[in-house]
Amino acid sequence: MILLVDPAFRAGSLSMDEFVLPVGRIVERNERTWRYRHYADMEGGIPEETEGVIICGTALKDNGFLSAIDWFDWLKETEIPVLGICAGMQVLCLACGGTVREGFEIGMTEVHVTAPHPLLPPLPSFHAYELHSHSCEPPPGWEILAVSSACIQAIRDPHHPRFGVMFHPEVRNDRIVEVFLEMCIE
């Protein structure tokens, strides 16, 4: 089971339809199951049968999660693969010791691969859908995999299977989510 974590302002909001359900569709198409969890409902930690965690995006104006990072402490302890998408990458970054500052992109953008990795399309670049008002400075020691002209686009923890992407792979880059699912052992 893949756990889809929603960092939006409210559980089950319209944001869920836009940023969580499309990721759920990709999970289903790959014959895997998923479960929805709002970040404020994670007190019990990660459910036992979780094979991978995807922290999804939020609406452009929804940045409340930035001041609720304590709610994501469970991230530091888990060995389960984690993919953070947009807001999810910001959460991952802050929870693991990185920083977030203003940085804004909307729409299709060219993303340059700086360190080839199976998660991403091959060198030199690909197009991806952006919708964010903050950008990330990764935690110390993390590897930068891709950048756009505005900010860092993809990062990886060298010691754990943790990845962050600033763009939305569920729009026109499904393959990235699929490669991540392959890393989540059933």
Q: Which residues bind another protein (CB under 8 A)?
A: 9-10, 12-15, 17-18, 21-22, 25, 59-62, 64, 104, 106-108, 129, 131, 133, 170-172
Can you tell me the distance from the alpha carbon of 185 to that of 170, in angstroms, rounded to the nearest whole number?
A: 21
Contacts of residue 151, defined as CB under 8 A and 6 or more positions apart, other chains included, come to: 103, 105, 135, 136, 166
Catalytic site residue from 56, 86, 96, 151: 86
CA dist., res. 10 & res. 176, Å (int): 27
**Choice among 132, 134, 168, 184 that is catalytic:** 168
Q: List for the chain the helix, strand, coil content (%; round to 5).
A: 25, 35, 40
127 is catalytic: no
**Cα 24-138-42 angle, rounded to 5 deg:** 45
Q: Which is nearer to another protein, 18 or 137 (CB)?
A: 18
**Residue 154 C-beta: closest distance to another protein, Å:** 19
- The C-alpha atoms of residue 126 and residue 137 are separated, in whole angstroms, by 21
Q: Is 38 helix (H, G, I), strand (E, B) or coil?
A: strand
Would you say 75 or 128 has its CB closer to another protein? 128
Nearer to another protein, 100 or 131 (CB): 131
**Shortest distance in whole angstroms from residue 155 CB to another protein:** 24
43 annotated active-site: no
* Residue pair 113/126 in contact by the 8 Å Cβ criterion: yes
Active-site hit among 38, 93, 134, 170: 170
**Closer residue to another protein (CB): 59 or 150:** 59
Q: Among this protein's residues, is 86 annotated catalytic?
A: yes
Closest CB 46 distance from another protein, rounded Å: 25
Active site residues: 86, 168, 170
